[in-house]
Structure 1
């Protein structure tokens, strides 16, 4: 906003001799208004940049098609409810881990223990872990989570008469450790279950479909470099070896 004022002159001069000089005065209010507008524009630009960054960093799911989003949601729900998938996900993020799938064939391979296999199904090894002579070799001294699961399907009725062949069948699964410092095998974890127990659901045992049970072992241990871990399982002919039912693994903490 511009204002004008007249400069003082000699009053004794005549009107024809007087000269009027206009002097431009800049208003302080106009200058402050311009500065305020400039600050407001700068603030709006900065807010726009922040909003743009939040949009792209906080909403990555917009880039996923609806079908892919639904599939990811279903997979995530499955992994949350499946302990086997949870362990596999955790161990896959560990700096050193191994996960093995179990198998057993009376006519092939090992006769008296579960045969652990790497490189099939969900099995893998990383960070220096090795499978040697059906045993897991620890790569470095430290804390490790050791786990294993054995699944069984036991036939509880194998005769024509009602209840024939029914008996208590103990199922056991053990993880042992061999260390050079100890010079002998030491049991780390073990569990025993009884199959074909007499319950209210006796009809389920007499139809020949079998009795199902799972033994799961898992705990944290301080292990030394070169230690070897192995399992011992009975009732191998009753073992379920479909993918995800019988497994053995270790991961570093």
Structure 2
């Protein structure tokens, strides 16, 4: 705002002079208005460009983020952690049991005894050996197997009378008891006759006996708590050296 004084008559008194207010336009205010408008337009354009860049760059950002995370996991996995390795092995390990057989003629039980913790025998995954029986740890599919080896002394008959070798029957069976049935059932069994050989084989094995093995193996759907055991005849002819007579189960 500027103040101006109107020309007055010299003869008039000073009190009678009229004061008129005249508005004077400022160039500085117009400059600030133009500058503000340009700033607003620039901000709008910048926001649009920033949004477009962000939207187009999201897949790359995700990819880089994923790669970084993968590299981090890789670096972590490469660090030696024996406890973690043992834990992973324990999780992946299947339940299994493998037993070695032994027989003592002087034992009162008069049966083939299965032993854990000797030779190649082991048990893991919840399997137990109780009262010479394998206890199944959980319900599922299992492969059950067993082998018994024999050395049977064959007696010569009276060849002049036409009598041949005396046949000796060998048998091996795996029994199962389950609460759902309430009684024992036969899972597998095999019967074989010993001392079946030609005269030439008899001469080659004279005084050594007749060797043979019975092997049983198949897949069964068993329940938790089922009991498995074996029954074998001709115990005195059993070969119980390591790897010849065994009994086992493993989960599938």
1:168, 1:110 → 2: CA distance?
Answer: 27
- Cα distance in 2 for partners of 1:150, 1:228 equals 20
Aligned residue for 1:186? 185
Q: Which residue number in structure 1 is paired with residue 141 of structure 2? A: 143
Cα distance between partner residues in 2 of 1:105 and 1:165:
31
For 1:189 and 1:182, the matched residues in 2 are separated by 17
Shift in Å at residue 110 of structure 1? 2.5
Instruction: State the 1:99 CA deviation.
Output: 0.2
Q: Provide the alpha-carbon RMSD of the alignment.
A: 2.3
Q: Which whole-Å CA distance do the structure 1 matches of 2:164 and 2:103 have between them? A: 24
Distance 1:202 1:130, change over 3 A: same
Q: What are the within-5 Å matches in structure 2 for residues 129-168 of structure 1?
A: 129-157=127-155, 166-168=165-167
2:245 aligned with 1:246: yes
What is the match of residue 13 of structure 2? none
Counterpart in 2 of 1:237?
236
What SS is found at the alignment partner of 1:217?
A: strand
1:104–1:110 Cα contact (<8 Å) kept: no
Map Cα deviations across residues 19-78 of structure 1 (whole Å, 9 max, x no partner). Answer: xxxxxxxxxxxxxxxxxxxxxxxxxxxxxxxxxxxxxxxxxxxxxxxxxxxxxxxxxxxx
Deviation string, structure 1 residues 197-242 (Cα, Å, up to 9, x no partner): 1424353387221000000000000000000000000000000000
What 5-or-longer segments of structure 2 have no aligned partner?
1-91
- Deviation of 1:165 after TM superposition, in Å, equals 8.8
Task: Within 5 Å, give how 1:11-50 maps onto structure 2.
Answer: none
CA distance in 2, matches of 1:205, 1:236: 25
Q: Which has the larger radius of gyration?
A: 2
Task: Determine which of 92, 112, 123 is the counterpart of 2:121.
Answer: 123
Scaled by the length of structure 1, the TM-score of the pair is 0.59
Query: Residue 216 in 1 paired to residue 237 in 2?
Result: no
**What stretches of structure 1 of length at least 5 have no aligned partner?**
1-92
- What is the alpha-carbon distance in structure 2 between the residues aligned to residue 178 and residue 129 of structure 1? 16
Relative to structure 1, the CA distance from residue 116 to residue 165 in structure 2 (aligned partners, 3 Å threshold; closer, same or farther) is farther
Equivalent-residue separation in structure 1 for 2:243 and 2:201 (angstroms): 29
Aligned pair count reads 160
Provide closer, same or farther for how the CA distance between residues 131 and 211 of structure 1 changes in structure 2, counting only shifts above 3 A. same
- Mapped partners of 2:112, 2:144: distance in 1: 17
